[in-house]
């Protein structure tokens, strides 16, 4: 039986709003980096709209207006379902008033990705990249587009530039490195969401480490183009996407695809412990920050022990000298070490390995102490789990 690790949601339990001028528009970054409430995003949408009116040729103002409006709608919605009409209107306005602009091409891309607003305009992102290949603010969107297209050459170039900015979280990179480093050679890792996908790709393409592994983003598999590229990359026959788009139908399709990959490639298959919906849990074995798929039982605790003692880089969990750039998610991510390694802590206790027990115990306690954006109740719950 496996113990499910804590799932990192994009919505941190505590806000990380910082004081700023009410009259000056602020650059809108992903809420995975820094999260604000709906009122803050609403005010920023007003300010960026005014900036667009004042300087209509300011491409960055258009893009920030769009993102501020989107996050406002998202955070106002209780169930994540909102009317995207205001966003479509911004994109249409850009198409009409700035038809050959960088902003228009980026907003066209967002429209095809999120709203199915226009047909056959997704490739406008390629025009945007050619116009401003060094726009670090857009690197995340460039990477998603290039990953979907299977353009690994240009994606590598973008990820190297992104890494060299020093802007990406050292915590997220360290966590991603540990996930990949603990896997067998030629392993395949299934992840989901911005944080695990970007950080894993940056380790591989931006830093040039663990390049023998393959990282697959599950949510992107619903893009026919990405699915085709992945099948080609893995050397397996092309498969079709789901026909039943209900939650149950999609889950069934995912499991069939994952089993197909395991059976056809013969490569080690792993899943990030951050996944909210894990398939065939009775065949998953924790090796630390990943689960390995195996139809047969094996001594996974020895692998977990090896990863902790010899493979994983953990100094960053104790102390660092680099400012954290993803405050809304990075520290909470480290809490995942506690459920992932609790069984190993118990093993050390039962077998009298006091040195390793103290090392792991100290690491877990340090993680809880350093995590700022959690409630006192949640902090107590983690500490109780460690001491149990």
Q: Encode pLDDT of 36-87 as tens digits.
A: 999 999 999 999 999 999 999 999 999 999 999 999 999 998 877 888 899 9
What is the average pLDDT score of the chain? 90
Under a CB-based contact definition with an 8 Å cutoff, are residues 122 and 113 in contact?
yes
Write down the pTM of the prediction: 0.88
> pLDDT band at residue 249, thresholds of 50, 70 and 90?
very high
Residues near 108 by beta carbon (within 8 Å), at least 6 away in sequence: 91, 95, 118, 121, 122, 124, 125
Residues 150 and 262 in one domain: yes
Given 296, 314, 331, the domain boundary residue is 296
Residues 147 and 123 in one domain: no
Under a CB-based contact definition with an 8 Å cutoff, are residues 277 and 251 in contact?
yes
Alpha-carbon span 144 to 95, nearest angstrom: 22
Dihedral Cα 306, 308, 314, 315, nearest 10 deg: -80
Residues 167 and 290 in one domain: yes
Q: Does residue 10 lie in a domain region?
A: no
CB-based burial label for 339 (10 Å; 0-12, 13-18, 19+): middle
Alpha-carbon span 230 to 258, nearest angstrom: 12
Residues 291 and 151 in one domain: yes
Query: Residue 223 is inside which H or E element, if any?
Result: none
Residues 198 and 242 in one domain: yes
Residues 64 and 207 in one domain: no
Residues 122 and 178 in one domain: no
In the block, residue with structure tokens 């395949």: 188
| Whole-number pLDDT of residue 35 | 84
Q: Does residue 118 lie in a domain region?
A: yes
Residues 117 and 147 in one domain: no
Res 12 pLDDT > 60: no
Tally of domains within the chain: 2
Residues near 355 by beta carbon (within 8 Å), at least 6 away in sequence: none
Res 2 pLDDT > 50: no
Alpha-carbon span 302 to 250, nearest angstrom: 35
What is the number of other CB atoms lying within 10 angstroms of the CB of residue 175? 29
Residues 184 and 236 in one domain: yes
| Whole-number pLDDT of residue 113 | 78
Domain of residue 71, residue span: 38-132
Alpha-carbon span 6 to 273, nearest angstrom: 8
| Whole-number pLDDT of residue 115 | 72
* pLDDT tens digit sequence for 107-118: 999 988 777 655
Res 290 pLDDT > 60: yes
Distances (CA, A) of 185 to 76, 188, 189: 45, 9, 11
Of 52-56, 142-146, 328-332, the one with minimum mean pLDDT is 328-332
> pLDDT band at residue 5, thresholds of 50, 70 and 90?
very low
Residues 192 and 87 in one domain: no
Residues 127 and 88 in one domain: yes
Q: Does residue 308 lie in a domain region?
A: no
Residues 157 and 280 in one domain: yes
């Amino acid at each position: 039986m496996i113990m499910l690790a804590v799932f990192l949601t994009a919505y941190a339990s505590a806000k990380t709003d910082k004081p700023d001028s009410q009259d000056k528009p602020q650059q809108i970054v992903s809420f995975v980096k820094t999260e604000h409430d709906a009122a803050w995003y609403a005010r920023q949408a007003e300010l960026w709209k005014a900036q667009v009116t004042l300087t209509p040729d300011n491409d960055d103002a258009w893009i920030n207006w769009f993102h501020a409006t989107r996050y406002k709608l998202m955070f106002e919605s209780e169930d994540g379902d909102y009317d995207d009409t205001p966003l479509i209107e911004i994109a249409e306005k850009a198409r009409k008033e700035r038809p050959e602009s960088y902003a228009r091409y980026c907003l066209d891309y967002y429209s095809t990705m999120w709203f199915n607003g226009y047909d056959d305009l997704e490739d406008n992102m390629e025009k945007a990249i050619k116009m401003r290949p060094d726009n670090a603010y857009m690197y995340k969107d460039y990477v998603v587009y290039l990953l979907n297209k299977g353009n690994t050459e240009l994606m590598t170039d973008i990820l190297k530039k992104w890494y060299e900015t020093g802007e990406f979280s050292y915590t997220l990179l360290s966590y991603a490195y540990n996930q990949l480093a603990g896997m067998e050679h030629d392993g395949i890792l299934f992840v989901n969401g911005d944080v695990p996908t970007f950080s894993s790709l940056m380790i591989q393409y931006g830093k040039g480490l663990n390049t023998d592994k393959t990282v697959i983003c599950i949510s992107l598999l619903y893009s026919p183009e990405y699915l085709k590229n992945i099948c080609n990359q893995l050397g397996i026959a092309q498969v079709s996407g789901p026909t039943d788009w209900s939650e149950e139908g999609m889950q069934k399709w995912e499991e069939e695809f994952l089993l197909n990959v395991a059976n056809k490639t013969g490569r080690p298959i792993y899943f990030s412990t951050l996944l909210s919906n894990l398939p065939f849990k009775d065949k998953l074995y924790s090796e630390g920050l990943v689960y390995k798929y195996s139809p047969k039982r094996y001594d996974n605790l020895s692998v977990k022990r090896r990863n902790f003692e010899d493979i994983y880089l953990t100094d960053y969990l104790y102390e660092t000298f680099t400012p954290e750039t993803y405050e809304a998610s990075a520290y909470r991510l480290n809490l995942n070490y506690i459920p992932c390694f609790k069984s190993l802590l118990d093993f050390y206790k039962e077998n009298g390995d006091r040195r390793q027990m103290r090392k792991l115990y100290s690491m877990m306690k340090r993680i809880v102490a350093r995590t700022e954006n959690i409630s006192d109740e949640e902090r107590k719950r983690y500490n109780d789990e460690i001491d149990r």
